[in-house]
Structure 1
Amino acid sequence: MTTLTEAAESGSTQTAESAESTAYAILDIAREQVLEGGEGLNEAQLLEILTLPEEAIPAALQLAHEVRVRHCGEEVEVEGIISIKTGGCPEDCHFCSQSGLFDSPVRGVWLDIPELVKAAKETAATGATEFCIVAAVRGPDIKLMNQIKFAIDRINEEVDINIACSLGMLTQRQVDQLAEWGVHRYNHNLETARSFFREVVTTHTYEERLETCQMVKDAGMELCCGALIGMGESVEQRAELAAQLAALEPHEVPLNFLNPRPGTPLQDQPIMEGKDALRAIAAFRLAMPRTVLRYAGGRELTLGDLGTREGLLGGINAVIVGNYLTTLGRPATADLNLLVELNMPIKELQKTL
């Protein structure tokens, strides 16, 4: 005869088994839908990935890695970035120390063309295939566009590397010019979900960002459109962002984790937990099985060396090496040595100009 205690223990065991089965059910669905069918998870499904129990994270990362290899291949793309104009930006992106509206230690600095060419050469020497020129502006004026044209010409004369740009919001004429000059890829991040956007930016709209992204795609340039997570958004908004990026179908998604900067409105925001960052890596890969998913800013602080390794084995297939725009990254050699250790081949340059 079963006692009340035995019945309670049995019920507790069955409940635990049921909960574990439910927790992993989304991974079975993702294996069939994403790995086998090549169709990314929808927003509701992504929320399930983002709320998986901690013990399920390794399984989610393993599946994301399998998806990456199946749909993107084994190669890892390496990129370096440099700012032609740092600081003094008129926009109020609450995470950014380059805004001229905040009491930030970052001050306006312009690089000259020889410095850009030198940086491009140094970037190419690491094995990188992409060099991104960034400017902290709302959008480029004619002076900046002329400098970009001159820089592109000089870099192409001396360095064998693809050139990308990130110059803020563009007009149709500027999009057409960049495409004509051979810009390989244009970066314009959504940063966060539509429903959270006004919490972190008020000087321009989510729709304005989308407009530039669409013009870039229509002009035939590759669109690099990234995310910055850990800004105080809810886990539901994180799923929303992944789904909105997937709908945009960018070629590349840089995945940034907030590194709270002094003087910005988000300076006191807690650093995102590593386990949540790993859940996000898996979710973004399962949302976009064929997209280049790039490690970007904040990973050193949020994930550390061990987490960086786990992410590379969990769906990441591109990295920014060296320093970021206003924060320090890992030494390029550290990332390159890690790729070698993990037997991840670096993508060879395929010039598009």
Structure 2
Amino acid sequence: MVQPADILALARQQVLEEGRGLGESQLLEILNLPDGQIPNLLELAHQVRVKWCGEEVEVEGIISLKTGGCPEDCHFCSQSGVFESPVRSVWLDINELIEAAKQTAKSGATEFCIVAAVKGPDEKLMKQLEEAVSAIKAEVDIEVSVSVGTLTPEQVKRLADAGVHRYNHNLETARSFFPEVVSTHTWEERRNTLELVREAGIEVCSGGILGMGETLEQRAEFAAQLAEVEPAEVPMNFLDPRPGTPFADYPVMESADALRAIGAFRLALPRAILRFAGGRELTLGEDGAEQGLLGGMNAIIVGNYLTTLGRPMEDDLDMMGRMQLPIKALSSAV
């Protein structure tokens, strides 16, 4: 039987010293580490992220261009029009997006992500995105990311031409577990969009949600599959059960399991931007962000999420100041 010290020693050599992520079976060993080994895991994960990513933390704000009314049935999402959730369809105009980008930039953020609750963009949305990205880049010193679902090659080219820096399209969970989460599209469709985005020269952002009923084996599978995609950024969400969705009554993920997952994902993806996203406050509590940022995470979404409240932006910025974590400057953005 493999001892905890053995897998951590292997990870130290393979990931920290050589920069090679752990494979699926090794990640499963990490996810099965006893609670008493979590501090050692997080310490190693932090050393990995500092060595291969640097000490800076990337700050991002997100805003929903179109909220609610999505035709997909993602079982975790209150924006689905399939379920009886309290979220109703709302659209923002260009001026509102520009103002939100300005407020995000004032926080020191280098990334502003525009999200729409759609299966994929129609022509109206594409034109609005092109106009919005152009207007924001003309008035605000910030990179613009977009997340609007499945894309065609022509749509990817248009977004690239508009100046989109990074495209978010989460794989959400392991390929083997995906049918338990979504039935209206496939994992392969999502993966195909990511390949189109990469080929167009846009940075790939893809992560998912943990705590949706997946096994530890599937959690390890998911981390390994993300590593195959080689994303520039990986958002890590923890399920925040939403009223009216099929996952409304699911239990909140245990904080120890979340911390093990953070360490495992860093050891799978030593060079990726690993970003705290939705559910961190509920799953990890007030001190959880500090543990994560000293345990492998190197990016954070500040302010509110798409349909759930986050901590006040000022609280997160104060926290990073107390921790003496340098915030990534726009001039150093790739």
| TM-score computed with the length of structure 1 as normaliser | 0.93
Within the candidate set 271, 290, 294, 2:275 is matched to 294
The answer to whether the 8 Å contact 1:161/1:351 transfers is no
Residue in structure 1 matched with residue 146 of structure 2 by the alignment: 165
Pair 1:155 & 2:127 matched: no
- Residue aligned with 1:305, SS: coil
In structure 2, distance between residues paired with 1:281 and 1:247: 18
Pair 1:198 & 2:179 matched: yes
Taking only the aligned residue pairs, the percentage that are identical comes to 66
**Any residues of structure 2 matched to 1:1-353 within 5 Å, and which?**
22-350=3-331
- Residue aligned with 1:294, SS: strand
In structure 2, distance between residues paired with 1:227 and 1:100: 20
Deviation above 6 Å: which 4+ runs of structure 1?
none
Q: Using the TM superposition, give the Cα deviation of residue 150 of structure 1 relative to its aligned residue in structure 2, in angstroms.
A: 1.0
Q: Using the TM superposition, give the Cα deviation of residue 330 of structure 1 relative to its aligned residue in structure 2, in angstroms.
A: 0.8
- Worse overlay, 305-314 or 281-290: 305-314
Structure having the higher Rg: 1
Q: Using the TM superposition, give the Cα deviation of residue 222 of structure 1 relative to its aligned residue in structure 2, in angstroms.
A: 0.4
- Residue aligned with 2:77, SS: coil
In structure 2, distance between residues paired with 1:111 and 1:307: 32
**Structure 2: unaligned runs, 5 residues or longer:** none
Q: Using the TM superposition, give the Cα deviation of residue 338 of structure 1 relative to its aligned residue in structure 2, in angstroms.
A: 1.0
**Structure 1: unaligned runs, 5 residues or longer:** 1-18
The answer to whether the 8 Å contact 1:295/1:318 transfers is yes
Q: Using the TM superposition, give the Cα deviation of residue 113 of structure 1 relative to its aligned residue in structure 2, in angstroms.
A: 0.8
- Residue aligned with 1:256, SS: strand
Distance 1:67 1:266, change over 3 A: same
Q: Using the TM superposition, give the Cα deviation of residue 352 of structure 1 relative to its aligned residue in structure 2, in angstroms.
A: 7.1
Q: Using the TM superposition, give the Cα deviation of residue 52 of structure 1 relative to its aligned residue in structure 2, in angstroms.
A: 0.2
In structure 2, distance between residues paired with 1:24 and 1:351: 37
Q: Using the TM superposition, give the Cα deviation of residue 351 of structure 1 relative to its aligned residue in structure 2, in angstroms.
A: 7.8
Aligned length: 334
In structure 2, distance between residues paired with 1:76 and 1:154: 27
The one-character-per-residue Cα deviations of 1:162-209 (angstroms, maximum 9, x if unpaired) are: 000000000000000001111000000000000000000000000000
The one-character-per-residue Cα deviations of 1:283-313 (angstroms, maximum 9, x if unpaired) are: 0000000000000000000001122211110
In structure 1, distance between residues paired with 2:170 and 2:272: 15
